[in-house]
Structures are given as C-alpha cells and as structure tokens.
Chain A
C-alpha cells in the first residue's frame, strides 16, 4: 500500500475528516489532501507527527508493513466534499511534473485544490441565486 492509502485508512479508522487531521498537524487541508492522493510526500517532521498522532511505526506508515493497519476501514462520509480536484488533474500532477521538487508539487496541488474548491463554491452560489430569482 502507498503512503497515501495508509494515511487514508488510518484517518478513516479514527473517523476523522481531512480538515481535522490537517488541523492537528497545523497545516492546510489541501496540503494534507495532496499526501493522501500520493501527489506529494510529507516532510520528515510531518511524518513523525503523523506517527505520533496515529501511534504507529514509521515503516508501517510508509507501507512496508501493511498488515499492521486494520482493514476495517469504514468509508469516510465527507470524502466527496473534501476532494475537489478532478482525478485527471491529480494524475497529471503525479505523472507529468517530475521537473518540480516535492515542495513545488505540494504547493501546486494545494493551489489547484484551493482553486477547484472556490470554483465549486462560486458555481453553487450562482445556482442558488438563480433558484432564488425563480
């Protein structure tokens, strides 16, 4: 299992949202999201924080010992609400930006997530206004 999949599973096991985990780590949700999607890798100090938080060993987190992570992961309810970047763009981020550093990739993933969230909000607002006018 990849680091991202492990992070997702651990989070779901605890029944937390991406926002809640990001808050605990003192970072933006979009940045955390980029790790779960294997777009960017967290820095070492963040990995340590994650290990402390979930009470797991580093190699467990990195997916070297996948059986250690429980399989009874209930699907996160707000999964769809917390991921706004289309999957094709996530794939693009992973596959076609190897000229960027991990940090630059992470920033780009954050910005894209932020953009797609604001786009969705803008469109929903417009729709609600149109409904209000009808």
Chain B
C-alpha cells in the first residue's frame, strides 16, 4: 500500500472534499450513519442505484453512458452483509468522483475490493470508500469519545478489515507514521477492544488513546518490545460477519431520507 502513497493521498483529498460538500447532511456526529450518508450523496449527484443478483463474486459496477449514471450492487452479497454493500457503494462512488473522465465503465469483483489490490484505480476507490464511510472528523470524534474498535465497527457498518485499514491510514495521515508503526498501534487497540470481557473500559489501556505527535517515538518503541502479533493485518480470510443484522435495503434507507 505504501507503494501508492501519492495515489492514496489523492483519494483521501477527494473524499475529504466530497465530505465537506455534503457534511451538512450529518446531524449528529456520534450517530453517523454511513449507509444513509453515501446513499444521499449518490442521489444528490444524480446517480441511479440499481442491483442485480449476480451469482458470481461480482461486487458492483459504475456505468456512465448516454442513458444515465448507474451504480449497481450485487443484491446477493448485500443480503449476506450490509457492510459489504456499503463498501461497494462507496467504492463505486469513488470511481465516479475520481475516474469517470478516464473510463466510463467500472466492473468490480471481490479481488478489486481487497486491501491487496494492485491496480491504482481500485486502490484509490477503496481508500475513497473507507474515508467516505468514515470521514476523518467522525472518526476523530469517536476516538475522542474513547469508543472501542468494535463499537465503531458496529455503528459505521463497515467490515472489521475496512475499519482496520481506515485506522492505519488515519494514523499515517495524522501522526506521520510509517505503515508498520500505524499497524502496530491499530492492532494493539483492536486486541485491547477484544479483551473487554468483565471490564468495559479495558480498551482504554490501548496506546492509541495516549498517542500524541510528541510521544509517538516512545510509544512505538514500547510496542515494538511487546512483540505484538500483527498477522491480522495481512491475514486475508476474514471471519464472515454475523448475519444477525436486519436487512436494510436501499429502498428503506431512501424512504427514511425522504428521497
């Protein structure tokens, strides 16, 4: 990922601009609903949301032709996981904002929405998705309110992996860390969030909450000595998300928005 730092920074810039344009839509930062936010942007940009039951691992498409602008998502994936659908919508929206003058059709399979995609357009669309689903301002407020990793995940409804990389990029951006350092801090925070059990406030011990620009070297040295297992970051198969969610389809979201 560091290979494409310039492309990533560009995608972050785009996502921040789009966030600023639409931020008035957000009423309460701590009750931020990423799906409603993204659906609203898509609607305001005059893009039609469509779906199709692809049997394959197709995630979605962005099409811009003489008829209309369309974002298509795979309804079969959406049934299994709203997180996945949200990420697809954010990803296709990224193609719309960043790449539509270079290419008018984007067809994205799972391999394009992975963290290890090697195509610059896909990397950019993924970064854009993770920033538009969880804008910096919102993430900062949640961290300031000392939310655990899993509490943020539950609220925002993006996958654990997407949140993980979102945090890594956030730390790189804010504290000017290397990717390895950012992974170390994010992983410690994630592990502390798991260990809650009888102690609701356990995750507060994570170094992430103590991190400042001035003590970062000390904190990283300390974490390096603790031999934290960071294999999670590079482990490709993510546990399937629990399917206890109520299925929120796009029409519901739209009707709630009065669109």
The answer to whether the Cβ of B150 comes within 8 Å of any Cβ in the partner chain is no
- Among B34-80, those with CB < 8 Å from A are 50, 52, 54-56, 58, 63, 65, 67-68, 70, 72
Closest chain B CB from A50 CB (angstroms): 25
Task: Name the segment of A28-36, A56-64, A67-75, A86-94 touching the other chain.
Answer: A86-94
From the candidates A86, A100, A104, A119, name the one contacting B50 in the complex (CB within 8 A): A119
A108 near B58: Cβ-Cβ < 8 Å: yes
What's the minimum C-beta distance from B101 to chain A, rounded to whole angstroms?
Answer: 15
B111–A88 CB distance below 8 A? no
B116 proximal to A (CB < 8 A): no
Contacts of B50 in A (CB 8 A): 119, 122
**Is B68's CB under 8 angstroms from A89's CB?**
no
- Are B105 and A111 closer than 8 Å at their CB atoms? no
Are B105 and A120 neighbours in the complex by a CB distance under 8 Å? no
Chain A residues within an 8 Å CB radius of B63: 86, 119
- Asked if A111 and B111 sit within 8 Å, CB to CB, the answer is no
Asked if A54 CB lies within 8 Å of chain B CBs, one says: no
Number of A-B contacts (CB under 8 A): 37
Contact of B54 among A88, A111, A119 (CB under 8 A): A111
Known: A108-B54, A111-B52. A123 touches B68 (CB 8 A): yes
B107 at the interface (CB under 8 A from A): yes
Residue A134 lies at the interface, judged by CB distance under 8 Å to chain B:
no
Chain B residue with the shortest CB-CB distance to A86: B105
Nearest-neighbour CB distance to chain A for B257, whole angstroms, equals 21
Question: Closest CB of chain B to A129's CB: distance in Å?
Answer: 14
28 interchain pairs (CB within 8 A)? A86-B63, A86-B105, A88-B103, A89-B105, A89-B107, A92-B105, A92-B107, A100-B56, A104-B56, A107-B55, A108-B54, A108-B56, A108-B58, A111-B52, A111-B55, A111-B56, A111-B58, A112-B107, A114-B52, A115-B52, A115-B72, A118-B52, A119-B50, A119-B63, A119-B67, A119-B70, A120-B67, A123-B68
15 other A-B residue contacts (CB within 8 Å) besides A92-B107, A123-B68: A86-B65, A86-B105, A88-B103, A88-B105, A89-B105, A92-B105, A104-B56, A108-B54, A108-B56, A108-B58, A111-B52, A112-B107, A115-B72, A119-B63, A122-B50
